[in-house]
Amino acid sequence: MPKQTKLQNNTKATTKAIPKFKTEAAERKFWEDAANDATEYFDASNTQVAKFTNLKPSTTSISLRLSDSLLDGIRRQANKLDVPYQSLMKVWLTEKLSENSKRT
């Protein structure tokens, strides 16, 4: 978490008013301009930690053809571990991808 600093002599920081923008593109251009310092427009003493408890990564469904024996083996292993077989497959695929990524 960022280190918080106290204002000296209990003086309030003055902030600039955020301009009104006609379009989203104009607003984007304003904030991307190096001449505009965003810290001049926001009072950091009022910041709060944001919690996104319901945020989930996006997923995509796929169709995967497996032999009956391979799927049965995966299901048996998942039952031993008391996890859904699809979740076990995702864990295994993630682990394998991580292993291969470290090699290259």
- Is the model's pLDDT at 4 over the cut of 70? no
Q: How many domains does the chain have?
A: 2
Residue 101 pLDDT class (50, 70, 90 cuts): confident
List pLDDT tens digits, range 7-27.
444 445 588 899 999 999 999
36 assigned to some structural domain: yes
57 assigned to some structural domain: no
For 69-83, b/e burial (b = at least 16 CB within 10 A) is: eeeeebeeebeeeee
Give the domain range for residue 83. Answer: 68-103
pLDDT at residue 9, rounded to an integer: 43
pLDDT at residue 48, rounded to an integer: 87
3 assigned to some structural domain: no
List pLDDT tens digits, range 35-87.
988 888 888 888 888 888 888 888 889 999 999 999 999 999 999 999 999 99
Say how far apart CA 76 and CA 96 lie, in whole Å.
20
55 assigned to some structural domain: no
95 assigned to some structural domain: yes
Query: For residue 43, which of 17, 19, 18, 13 has the smallest C-alpha distance?
Result: 13
